[in-house]
Chains A and B, each alone.
Chain A
């Protein structure tokens, strides 16, 4: 069975899951709810008593650990990029039996960024967003806190596995997958229990997150059921489907934060539906090029990619359709954070700049990947030399900014305190975004030079030009490491010493209070509601005046 069969089974499974969830989550009857809650807390015995059960503690644990992983992952990526132009830079470590290569470090950097930093930011945000949109509390804060450490352990093992896939015959990445799956299932059950006790209709970003998380096990099952886990096409499809799950989570978290941070209503509900449906019913081209990694993660041998003619045509067509949810998400994010203005609203809110940057980079990165993936699927392999650097660009200019921006937006709500300094946060943003964009672009230029030189003479030794460009790229990427350290310190210090949030409604820079609102210019009723006004809010028209402290007539 080919690619189309895998996709049809996956689509059918997701539709069944979605219908089940929307019809009241009947799988979670009172008995299963009670059992699940027991499994999340009491069944874990004394271990659960180590975790804090305070509201928001689960989300904070995930977010802070995500920030620490950001430092580790940027460091691994930076050293990997450096070894790309100076392979012997760390040869002194061979005295300890360590021989890290550029490829192994970049792989470790990518995995720790995707699953460590981005993954933990997304789940940390989800633990706040889903209960908030359900108007209820998280089913088990204690379990969410405890599981964050299990997840972090799995990432640590994953990083070791990227360097040494097998130790004493034991497949390290398989162990990491097993531990990671355990944590993921606990989080899914926790969020489903929360959603099942919702007291109002959950908004679409919540569904994007939940479907995104559920699609990880569902996609693996779909590939396994169709018997394609051991062939190249199945392994490649699994990587694409896992990529879609991340895209769904990033969309949900990003759209929520764009509205929450800017104070504007989510621009378009229909575009959000298109993002949800489009991510599921198309193939996500962004991500690892081959299916080798998915095979290693499930303890199988990587198979050669030998797609049939139908797979190539169908796969390319379905991948091209991914442009639809991509453009929907980018436009929805950009317009939501701008509202009815051409500038970002509430731009002092840490996180808005990150989301804006990620949304701008979504389309160019997505379209570039479309070309690289179709080139790989069709077997031309002309652009294969760019894929690794392009993947880094996707991770550091789309995934990291949107997930980190969303995290910064909701950080005060979950921790009760603001980050220590909004200025430091902004400086870290410039370092991370500037360093990632320029550093990786120079690396891609080096890759292009390599491709051109090899086309001219396949025996050609890599010359000074690409190495010079890659050297510059790696040095510029060092700014990302510095930015990550500053951002991590800012968040940790903010958690302990940041200015306290007394009333959640007072976080926004809006002048609206619950009792009254000073109206200085014309505004729609929708806008007033989105700013926090209620039916009982008294609207006070304020005349413009030249007097000190009054609105000035321009």
Chain B
């Protein structure tokens, strides 16, 4: 027997049941995405909508706050290399964070 929960959690199970025999029918799952992810995606979409609307309503105007902060970094992060270094820093902190949390978790 296969349950809907198993089907959603593993793509392989959609194709085969536990005896390795292919299941040729549509089966509906019971899982739902986490609420945090829904809000995260909604936030992203609202940001994009805001930027588009701002561009339409105030064409040629600079973004408030952000446009006054960015010039501070002129001459500092003026090479594309810094974007790559930013990515590496995220990775480095992920490693550091993993080490600390894994070592201290019960």
**Binding partners A and B:** yes
Chain A residues engaging chain B, CB cutoff 8 angstroms: 68, 71, 75, 78-79, 82, 86, 88-90, 92, 478, 481-482, 485, 488-489, 492-493, 495-497, 548-549
Known A71-B95, A488-B95, A493-B98; contact A92-B78, beta-carbon cutoff 8 A: yes
Interface segment, B27-35, B59-67, B83-91?
B83-91
Known A492-B99, A496-B102, A497-B102; contact A482-B81, beta-carbon cutoff 8 A: no
B99 neighbours in A (Cβ, 8 Å): 492
Interface string of B12-40 (1 = CB under 8 A from A): 00000001010000000000000000000
Chain A nearest CB, measured from B105 CB (Å): 8
Q: Report whether A482 and B91 are in contact in the complex, using a CB–CB cutoff of 8 Å.
A: yes
A68 neighbours in B (Cβ, 8 Å): 95
Q: Report whether A481 and B88 are in contact in the complex, using a CB–CB cutoff of 8 Å.
A: yes
Q: Report whether A79 and B81 are in contact in the complex, using a CB–CB cutoff of 8 Å.
A: yes
* 24 A–B contacts from the bound complex (CB under 8 Å): A68-B95, A71-B88, A71-B92, A75-B88, A78-B88, A79-B85, A89-B80, A90-B81, A92-B76, A478-B87, A481-B87, A482-B87, A482-B91, A485-B88, A485-B94, A489-B98, A492-B95, A492-B98, A492-B99, A493-B98, A496-B103, A496-B105, A548-B21, A549-B19
**Chain A: CB-nearest residue to B85:** A79
A92 neighbours in B (Cβ, 8 Å): 75-78
Chain A nearest CB, measured from B85 CB (Å): 7
B81 neighbours in A (Cβ, 8 Å): 79, 82, 86, 89-90
A549 vs B81: C-alpha distance when bound (angstroms): 56
B82 neighbours in A (Cβ, 8 Å): 89
Q: Report whether A481 and B91 are in contact in the complex, using a CB–CB cutoff of 8 Å.
A: yes
**Residues of B in contact, count (CB < 8 Å):** 23
Q: How many cross-chain pairs have Cβ atoms below 8 Å apart between A and B?
A: 56
A497 vs B91: C-alpha distance when bound (angstroms): 19
B68 within 8 A of A: no
B98 neighbours in A (Cβ, 8 Å): 489, 492-493
| Secondary structure type dominating chain A contacts | helix
B88 neighbours in A (Cβ, 8 Å): 71, 75, 78, 481, 485
A549 neighbours in B (Cβ, 8 Å): 19
Give the 4 A-B CB pairs with smallest separation, nearest first: A485-B91, A89-B79, A496-B102, A89-B81
Chain A nearest CB, measured from B21 CB (Å): 8
Chain B nearest CB, measured from A488 CB (Å): 6
B85 neighbours in A (Cβ, 8 Å): 79
Known A86-B81, A88-B79, A89-B79; contact A548-B19, beta-carbon cutoff 8 A: yes
Chain A nearest CB, measured from B17 CB (Å): 12
A79 neighbours in B (Cβ, 8 Å): 81, 85
**Chain B: CB-nearest residue to A78:** B84
A481 neighbours in B (Cβ, 8 Å): 84, 87-88, 91
B103 neighbours in A (Cβ, 8 Å): 496
A71 neighbours in B (Cβ, 8 Å): 88, 91-92, 95
Chain B nearest CB, measured from A446 CB (Å): 17
Known A75-B88, A79-B85, A481-B88; contact A90-B79, beta-carbon cutoff 8 A: yes
Beyond A89-B81, A92-B75, 12 additional pairs, beta carbon < 8 A: A71-B91, A86-B79, A86-B81, A89-B79, A89-B80, A92-B76, A92-B77, A478-B84, A478-B87, A481-B88, A482-B87, A548-B19
Residue from A88, A92, A493 with most neighbouring chain B CB atoms (10 Å): A92
Chain B nearest CB, measured from A471 CB (Å): 9
Interface string of B45-59 (1 = CB under 8 A from A): 000000000000000
A548 neighbours in B (Cβ, 8 Å): 19, 21
A78 vs B83: C-alpha distance when bound (angstroms): 13
A478 neighbours in B (Cβ, 8 Å): 84, 87
Chain B nearest CB, measured from A77 CB (Å): 12
**Chain B: CB-nearest residue to A92:** B76
Q: Report whether B91 and A493 are in contact in the complex, using a CB–CB cutoff of 8 Å.
A: no
Q: Report whether A485 and B79 are in contact in the complex, using a CB–CB cutoff of 8 Å.
A: no
A236 vs B37: C-alpha distance when bound (angstroms): 59
A78 neighbours in B (Cβ, 8 Å): 84, 88
Chain B nearest CB, measured from A484 CB (Å): 8
Known A79-B85, A496-B102, A497-B102; contact A485-B95, beta-carbon cutoff 8 A: yes
Q: Report whether A82 and B95 are in contact in the complex, using a CB–CB cutoff of 8 Å.
A: no
A88 neighbours in B (Cβ, 8 Å): 79
Residue from B84, B87, B92, B94 with most neighbouring chain A CB atoms (10 Å): B84
Known A71-B95, A75-B88; contact A493-B102, beta-carbon cutoff 8 A: yes
A481 vs B102: C-alpha distance when bound (angstroms): 23
Chain A nearest CB, measured from B45 CB (Å): 27
Chain A nearest CB, measured from B53 CB (Å): 34
Q: Which of B77, B91, B102 contacts A492 (CB 8 A)?
A: B102
Chain B nearest CB, measured from A540 CB (Å): 22
A478 vs B102: C-alpha distance when bound (angstroms): 27
**Chain B: CB-nearest residue to A490:** B98
B94 neighbours in A (Cβ, 8 Å): 485, 489
**Chain A: CB-nearest residue to B77:** A92
A485 neighbours in B (Cβ, 8 Å): 88, 91-92, 94-95
**Chain A: CB-nearest residue to B81:** A89
A237 vs B79: C-alpha distance when bound (angstroms): 41
A488 vs B99: C-alpha distance when bound (angstroms): 10
B79 neighbours in A (Cβ, 8 Å): 86, 88-90
**Chain A: CB-nearest residue to B78:** A92
A488 neighbours in B (Cβ, 8 Å): 95
B102 neighbours in A (Cβ, 8 Å): 492-493, 495-497
A495 vs B91: C-alpha distance when bound (angstroms): 18
Chain A nearest CB, measured from B19 CB (Å): 6
A493 vs B99: C-alpha distance when bound (angstroms): 8
A497 neighbours in B (Cβ, 8 Å): 102
Chain A nearest CB, measured from B9 CB (Å): 15
**Chain A: CB-nearest residue to B92:** A71
A482 vs B86: C-alpha distance when bound (angstroms): 12
B76 neighbours in A (Cβ, 8 Å): 92
A82 vs B88: C-alpha distance when bound (angstroms): 14
